[in-house]
């Protein structure tokens, strides 16, 4: 499942072709909307709003005027994960339909991961961003004495963060 924005969608299509899997699109996986900053370079943002970019990076509650905070981004993307979990009949069963791969953008991946892990919002910036073409891997397990059918009873574990494949120079 991919964001509809080209950076992610092109990657998803390549991955899907390689794995023989179809790609579906979900706009809830779009990158953070930056409001008044949309389309500006870092230098342009720093020129019109000195210090604001740092505030945005350091506080998951802060949003540029007309834009989204990381909390907003997580709130937008969590329902998709909830729907995907609801489609799984049993956790811990090997199934050819698993795992689910979401192809999205660094800001969304960081916000979604922090929210799923149940991290305090004050610590969300610790995850930082994702490198281009990097990935994160999470696993969900039902909490002890939890209801296996309940999304809220899933304990998420971060297995891999910001990983990337390394290609030797002589291969290129």
Alpha-carbon gap, residue 57 to 77, rounded angstroms? 19
**Going by C-beta distance under 8 Å and a sequence separation of 6 or more, which residues neighbour residue 9?**
2, 3, 23, 25, 103
Please give the pLDDT value at position 103: 95
Task: List pLDDT tens digits, range 39-85.
Answer: 999 999 999 999 999 999 999 999 999 999 999 999 999 999 999 98
Task: List pLDDT tens digits, range 145-165.
Answer: 777 677 888 899 999 999 998
**If we measure between CA atoms, which residue out of 108, 85, 111 comes closest to residue 29?**
108
| Residue 104, in any domain of the structure | yes
| Residue 85, in any domain of the structure | yes
* Cβ atoms 107, 6 nearer than 8 A: no
Task: List pLDDT tens digits, range 26-35.
Answer: 999 999 999 9
* Cβ atoms 39, 32 nearer than 8 A: no
**Going by C-beta distance under 8 Å and a sequence separation of 6 or more, which residues neighbour residue 122?**
60
The total number of structural domains in the chain stands at: 1
Task: List pLDDT tens digits, range 84-137.
Answer: 988 876 655 555 556 789 999 999 999 999 999 999 999 999 998 788 889 999
| Residue 73, in any domain of the structure | yes
| Residue 171, in any domain of the structure | no
| Residue 155, in any domain of the structure | no
* Cβ atoms 108, 8 nearer than 8 A: no
Peptide bond just before 149 cis, omega within 30 deg: no
Alpha-carbon gap, residue 47 to 30, rounded angstroms? 26
Range of the domain at 10: 6-32+68-131
| Residue 87, in any domain of the structure | yes
Q: Residue 110 belongs to a domain with what CATH number? A: 3.40.50.1240
């Amino acid at each position: 499942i991919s964001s509809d924005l080209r950076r992610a969608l092109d990657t998803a299509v390549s991955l899907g072709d390689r794995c023989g899997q179809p790609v579906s699109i979900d706009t809830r996986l779009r990158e953070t909307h930056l409001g008044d900053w949309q389309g500006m370079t870092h230098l342009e943002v720093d020129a019109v709003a000195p210090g604001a970019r740092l505030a945005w990076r350091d506080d998951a509650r802060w949003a540029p005027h007309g834009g989204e905070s990381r909390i907003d981004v997580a709130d937008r993307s969590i329902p998709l994960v909830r729907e995907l979990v609801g489609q799984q009949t049993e956790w811990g069963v090997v199934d050819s339909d698993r795992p689910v791969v979401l192809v999205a953008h660094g800001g969304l991946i960081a916000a979604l991961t922090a929210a799923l892990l149940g991290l305090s919002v004050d610590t969300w910036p610790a995850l930082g961003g994702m490198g281009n073409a990097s990935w994160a891997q999470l696993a969900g397990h039902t909490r002890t004495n939890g209801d296996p059918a309940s999304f809220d009873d899933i304990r998420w574990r971060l297995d891999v963060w910001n990983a990337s494949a390394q290609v030797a120079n002589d291969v290129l």
